[in-house]
Amino acid sequence: MHHEHKQPFPENFLWGSASAAYQIEGGWDQDGKGPSVWDVYTKQPGTTYMDTNGDIAVDHYNRMEEDVALMAEMGLKTYRFSIAWTRIYPEGRGEVNEAGLAFYERLIDLLLDNHIEPIITVYHWDLPQALMDEYGGWESRKIIDDFNDYCVTLFQRFGEKVKYWVTLNEQNVFIGLGYKVGLHPPGVKDEKRMHQANHIASLANAKAVESFRKYVPNGKVGPSFALSPVYPRTSHPEDVLAAENAEEMMNHWYMDVYVHGKYPEVIWAHLERKGTAPELQEGDLELLKQGAPDFMGINYYQSTTVERNPLDGVAEGKMNTTGKKGTSSDSGVPGLFKTCRNPDLTTTNWDWEIDPVGLRIGMRRIHNRYQLPILISENGLGEFDKLENGRIHDDYRIDYIASHLQQIQEALQDGVDVIGYCTWSFTDLLSWLNGYQKRYGFVYIDRDEKDVRNLRRIKKDSFYWYQDIIQSSGEKL
């Protein structure tokens, strides 16, 4: 189904770009900021690509005016950024650090002056280390109140100026990589603990949404979920069943809780049999139901293809964090599914499958199951870029973003309510595990893993292209 007359993008469509505090700011201990778990974790040798960390990152904390000027020049309609909890509460709670609030207030005011709608992410993974030390972060119910207090501080300070808010960025990723795969802090591999931490994060999310209704009654709030729609490798019924299992476990396990305050039954039963289901306390389900969002934020990079997996089958896989094609391997859940290469898709140098149609499929599934507006809160291509005579010809990035925007347009035609699209990312930045060489930005940053150089900002070809797309409201796609 391809439409001859393209549906125009809505007039108030939020054409945007996104970032996260730890990946751009630097200034890791400036103006009273406390250490986050990422400040500590990245200092342990071997945890990240070439032991990179965000101490300096791309120094956005000290170059914020220059970066916003570039956004204004591009004509961005929205900019999604995250607030570092440890700038606001250096110890996670207690005394508020006014200098931290002041920094984000300056950023917000500057964005508004330039007619750029700010979207705040309150949590993009940089948990205060103090709370990890004191009670194990997301593994303790104590975090529910601390997270809520932090959020209320932000709601009170910025609720009048900022309409769109994202609570947790990719709960499925920071919990999965933190407690099952063991590659993000706290580097644990324990499924029982993972499901418990995940449940507590969902409760914290719901409580923050409940407060949001009180403090920002005219605002809109939602999570940013890392969506990867699942396909079966073949039409063999066992593979189709595997795909259903994966879809329930990877996607609805989280989104059903956000929207309906309940866990999908098939996966719940599976976890009960394994003895890894989360422990529910009285009042939990009632609280979860208070967390219903206004929109579903979707971070989309790739689809997932799976096949059947026997009980003694594949579990742990390998991630490619070097950019050497073909160095990742499949993973799975024995008895439920295992991932496999999709022969119809090409991959990036980090083995991520490029699948614009998958975005349309995912959006339609969400639309059908949850009937919520969708904000694409991240989408983009991480690749090596080459600086040649002061220019970066990133036509591959333009192709990637254009093809995904075309699928959004198709989804609009299908009847999906899409309110905006944020690319990942505006400037190049630190990739959590992949260093600085995996670049995503419209704006090149002159630095690499070993040498911070001058951090000069250089507009890539994609900068001018996206500027044109925004100006034409997508007509030029």
For ligand BGP, which is the closer residue by CB, 258 or 432?
Answer: 432
Q: Which stretch binds ligand BGP (CB under 6 A): 98-106, 129-137, 430-438, 458-466?
A: 430-438
Helix/strand/coil percentages in the chain, nearest 5: 40, 15, 40
Whether 378 is catalytic is yes
Q: Which stretch binds ligand BGP (CB under 6 A): 306-314, 407-415, 429-437, 451-459?
A: 429-437
Whether 244 is catalytic is no
Token pair for 313: 């089958």
367 CB contacts (<8 Å, ≥6 apart)? 374, 411, 414, 415, 416, 417
Cβ-contact 382, 431 below 8 angstroms: yes
431 CB contacts (<8 Å, ≥6 apart)? 23, 49, 382, 438, 440
How far are the Cα atoms of 22, 220, 221, 302, 350 from residue 353, in angstroms, in the given order? 26, 32, 30, 6, 9
Dist. CA 203–CA 222, nearest whole Å? 14
Q: Which stretch binds ligand BGP (CB under 6 A): 166-174, 205-213, 393-401, 450-458?
A: 166-174
Q: Which residue is at the shortest CB distance from ligand BGP?
A: 431
Question: Smallest distance, Å, CB 223 to ligand BGP?
Answer: 12
Question: Smallest distance, Å, CB 380 to ligand BGP?
Answer: 7
Asked if 209 is part of the footprint of ligand BGP (rule: CB under 6 A), the reply reads no
Q: Which stretch binds ligand BGP (CB under 6 A): 102-110, 138-146, 168-176, 255-263?
A: 168-176
Asked if 424 is part of the footprint of ligand BGP (rule: CB under 6 A), the reply reads yes
Asked if 382 is part of the footprint of ligand BGP (rule: CB under 6 A), the reply reads yes
For ligand BGP, which is the closer residue by CB, 129 or 320?
Answer: 320
For ligand BGP, which is the closer residue by CB, 248 or 351?
Answer: 351
Which listed residue (170, 247, 248, 353) is catalytic? 170
Residues near ligand BGP (CB under 6 A), total: 15
Cβ-contact 111, 172 below 8 angstroms: no
282 CB contacts (<8 Å, ≥6 apart)? none
Asked if 169 is part of the footprint of ligand BGP (rule: CB under 6 A), the reply reads yes
What residues from 10 to 49 belong to the interface with ligand BGP (CB under 6 A)? 20, 23
What residues from 299 to 318 belong to the interface with ligand BGP (CB under 6 A)? 299
For ligand BGP, which is the closer residue by CB, 83 or 277?
Answer: 83
Taking Cα atoms as reference points, which of 21, 24, 219 lies closest to residue 117?
A: 219
Dist. CA 184–CA 175, nearest whole Å? 9
Asked if 170 is part of the footprint of ligand BGP (rule: CB under 6 A), the reply reads yes
For ligand BGP, which is the closer residue by CB, 71 or 430?
Answer: 430
Of the candidate residues 37, 116, 226, 336, the single one contacting ligand BGP (CB under 6 A): 226
What is residue 300's three-state secondary structure?
Answer: strand
Backbone angles phi, psi at 369, to 5 degrees: -85, -30
DSSP per residue over 346-397, as a string?
-B-TT-PBP-HHHHHHHHHHHHHHH---EEEEE----B----BTTB---HHH
Asked if 431 is part of the footprint of ligand BGP (rule: CB under 6 A), the reply reads yes
Cβ-contact 145, 134 below 8 angstroms: no
Which listed residue (353, 378, 383, 410) is catalytic? 378
Q: Which stretch binds ligand BGP (CB under 6 A): 130-138, 235-243, 322-330, 427-435?
A: 427-435
Dist. CA 205–CA 258, nearest whole Å? 8
Asked if 146 is part of the footprint of ligand BGP (rule: CB under 6 A), the reply reads no
Q: Which amino acid is at 331?
A: S
Strands 220-227 and 117-123: unpaired
Sign of the four-CA dihedral 311, 316, 318, 319: positive
Q: How many CB atoms lie within 10 A of CB 325?
A: 12
Q: Which stretch binds ligand BGP (CB under 6 A): 181-189, 241-249, 309-317, 425-433?
A: 425-433
Asked if 432 is part of the footprint of ligand BGP (rule: CB under 6 A), the reply reads yes
Asked if 434 is part of the footprint of ligand BGP (rule: CB under 6 A), the reply reads yes
What is residue 338's three-state secondary structure?
Answer: strand
Question: Smallest distance, Å, CB 22 to ligand BGP?
Answer: 8
Of the candidate residues 351, 378, 385, 394, the single one contacting ligand BGP (CB under 6 A): 378
Residue matched to tokens 């205060």: 128
For ligand BGP, which is the closer residue by CB, 9 or 81?
Answer: 81
Question: Smallest distance, Å, CB 437 to ligand BGP?
Answer: 11
Catalytic residues: 170, 378
Chain residues binding ligand BGP by CB under 6 A are 20, 23, 169-170, 173, 226, 299, 378, 382, 424, 431-434, 438
